[in-house]
Amino acid sequence: MNDQPTSMNRREVLGTLGTLGTLGAVAGMASIATIPGLANGAQNNLPTSPVPGAPSAVKWPFSPESMGFDAAKGVFSLPPLPYAPEALEPHIDKATMEIHHGRHHQAYVNGLNKALAEIAKLREPGADAAMHRHWMRELAFNAAGHANHVLFWNCMHAPKDKGGKGGGQPEGKLAEAITQSFGSFEAFSAQFRSTASTVEGNGWAWLVVNHAMGNRLMVMASERQQDLFAWGTTPILGVDVWEHAYYLKYQNKRADYVAAFMNVVNWSTVAAWHAMAAH
Ligand code: MN
């Protein structure tokens, strides 16, 4: 897994900034300028939560709690959907959500637990070394499948015209970062939708924070659950474009499904994840 910042990291950074702001030291200002994403006067406007206006209850998607990891048993369980299966209608239908979460996502959780158990057996004397390749593939496929879907469920919400938080555009620091990285929200959205619509076979499209590029935002794609992705990046938005994600309602019209997905993106949650990842 990529690095896993928490909101506590962010608070620690902000606490440091608060101290520096009080001192008003020139040396301190120089230090602030080296912190990616916080060089634009953030020391003068200290938020008390990861993002001003964002729900403080937003959880990092790859935490053990979000991922359903039981540390005592060393196994994962399927976390419940964070809303009712019909919540995303009319954009994503109830039956698709029930099958996608209850059957497909459950299968990845089961496959991940199986891979972890089989890999543990390969550490025993006399194990068949030729099986490492197989179980590494199973591990990558199912671990990515589990993490991808946890992020996917949690980056969506009921559309705003149904009383939810889905759709519209991001605000605040995330909006600024998208403009800096893509030119405009419209340019980002067009690139993201085109990427999602053209992934070959089954896959995903992502909005990622690229740490090596000073936390610049990038659109990436992955084939299957896990191929073509890059280390050193952290996804903060993802859309599943496997046929099981949309075929019941959209059949082969993947671009229509991707356009509908944009109506249920919970930008306040994505903004909170951005603040956690891009510190
Ligand atoms: Mn899926």
Q: How far is the CA of 112 from the centre of ligand 1 (A)?
A: 15
Whether 73 is covered by a domain: the verdict is no
Q: How far is the CA of 127 from the centre of ligand 1 (A)?
A: 33
Q: How far is the CA of 102 from the centre of ligand 1 (A)?
A: 11
State percent of the chain over pLDDT 90.
77
Instruction: Provide long-range contacts, Cβ within 8 A and 24+ apart, for 128-136.
Output: none
Q: How far is the CA of 184 from the centre of ligand 1 (A)?
A: 29
Rounded to an integer, the average pLDDT of 74-89 is 98
Q: How far is the CA of 241 from the centre of ligand 1 (A)?
A: 7
Whether 270 is covered by a domain: the verdict is yes
Q: How far is the CA of 44 from the centre of ligand 1 (A)?
A: 42
Report the length, in residues, of the chain: 279
Residue numbers of the domain that contains 219 = 160-277
CB atoms within 10 A of CB 24: 9
Q: How far is the CA of 244 from the centre of ligand 1 (A)?
A: 6
Q: How far is the CA of 140 from the centre of ligand 1 (A)?
A: 15
Which pLDDT score, from 0 to 100, does residue 56 have? 56
Q: In the predicted model, is pLDDT for residue 176 greater than 60?
A: yes
* Cα separation, 90 vs 92, whole angstroms: 6
Q: How far is the CA of 11 from the centre of ligand 1 (A)?
A: 33
Question: Residues with Cβ < 8 Å from 276, sequence gap 6 or more?
Answer: 5, 6, 7, 9, 10, 50, 60
Q: What is the mean pLDDT of the chain?
A: 85
- Structure tokens, 3: 């690095």
Q: In the predicted model, is pLDDT for residue 243 greater than 90?
A: yes
Whether 102 is covered by a domain: the verdict is no
The model's pTM: 0.80
Q: How far is the CA of 149 from the centre of ligand 1 (A)?
A: 6
Whether 212 is covered by a domain: the verdict is yes
Q: How far is the CA of 48 from the centre of ligand 1 (A)?
A: 35
Q: How far is the CA of 185 from the centre of ligand 1 (A)?
A: 26
pLDDT for 100-129, tens place per residue?
999 999 999 999 999 999 999 999 999 999
Q: How far is the CA of 105 from the centre of ligand 1 (A)?
A: 7
pLDDT for 201-230, tens place per residue?
999 999 999 999 999 999 999 999 999 888
Whether 255 is covered by a domain: the verdict is yes
Q: How far is the CA of 110 from the centre of ligand 1 (A)?
A: 14
Which pLDDT score, from 0 to 100, does residue 34 have? 32
Q: How far is the CA of 203 from the centre of ligand 1 (A)?
A: 9
Q: Which residue has the higher pLDDT, 78 or 16?
A: 78
Whether 106 is covered by a domain: the verdict is no
Which pLDDT score, from 0 to 100, does residue 229 have? 85
Rounded to an integer, the average pLDDT of 240-258 is 97
Q: How far is the CA of 208 from the centre of ligand 1 (A)?
A: 19
Domain count, the chain: 1
Which pLDDT score, from 0 to 100, does residue 57 have? 81
Residue 265 maps to which CATH number?
A: 3.55.40.20
Q: How far is the CA of 221 from the centre of ligand 1 (A)?
A: 14
Whether 260 is covered by a domain: the verdict is yes
Which pLDDT score, from 0 to 100, does residue 202 have? 94
pLDDT for 125-156, tens place per residue?
999 999 999 999 999 999 999 999 999 999 99
pLDDT for 25-80, tens place per residue?
333 333 333 333 333 333 333 333 444 444 458 999 999 999 999 999 999 999 99
Q: In the predicted model, is pLDDT for residue 13 greater than 70?
A: no
Rounded to an integer, the average pLDDT of 82-99 is 98
Return the closest-CA partner of residue 238 out of 121, 144, 114, 155.
Answer: 155
Q: How far is the CA of 58 from the centre of ligand 1 (A)?
A: 22
Cis before 90 (ω within 30)? yes
Which pLDDT score, from 0 to 100, does residue 27 have? 31
Residue 256's pLDDT band (boundaries 50, 70, 90)? very high
152 and 238 Cβ atoms separated by less than 8 Å? yes
Whether 205 is covered by a domain: the verdict is yes
Which pLDDT score, from 0 to 100, does residue 4 have? 42
